[in-house]
Amino acid sequence: MTRHPATRRLCRKCHAELGVDDSRCEACGASNPVPVPWYTPILGLAIVALLFLLLVDFSDVAKVLGFE
């Protein structure tokens, strides 16, 4: 995981400073979801695509496309 020490997060309820990985404010107990990086959905799609490639039987696909 890449960390960004310069990024400061504040509690959305009491504006106390939060730790980088804190999802709960230590001062007031409010829930502050850790923001997910922009590439998270792309990573998810890549994993799904990889599983698809591993599970699909390519001999059938090759037949359909005329490679066999």
Q: Is 11 in the site for Zn ion (CB under 5 A)?
A: yes
Closest CA to 21 of 32, 37, 6, 30: 32
Q: Is 13 in the site for Zn ion (CB under 5 A)?
A: yes
How many residues comprise the chain?
Answer: 68
Q: Which residues contact 58 (CB under 8 A, 6 or more apart)?
A: none
Name the segment binding Zn ion (CB under 5 A); options: 24-32, 39-47, 48-56, 57-65: 24-32
State which of residues 20, 23, 24, 28 lies at the interface with Zn ion (CB under 5 A): 28
Least Cβ distance, residue 19 to Zn ion (angstroms): 12
Helix (H, G, I), strand (E, B) or coil at 19: coil
State which of residues 10, 20, 27, 61 lies at the interface with Zn ion (CB under 5 A): 27
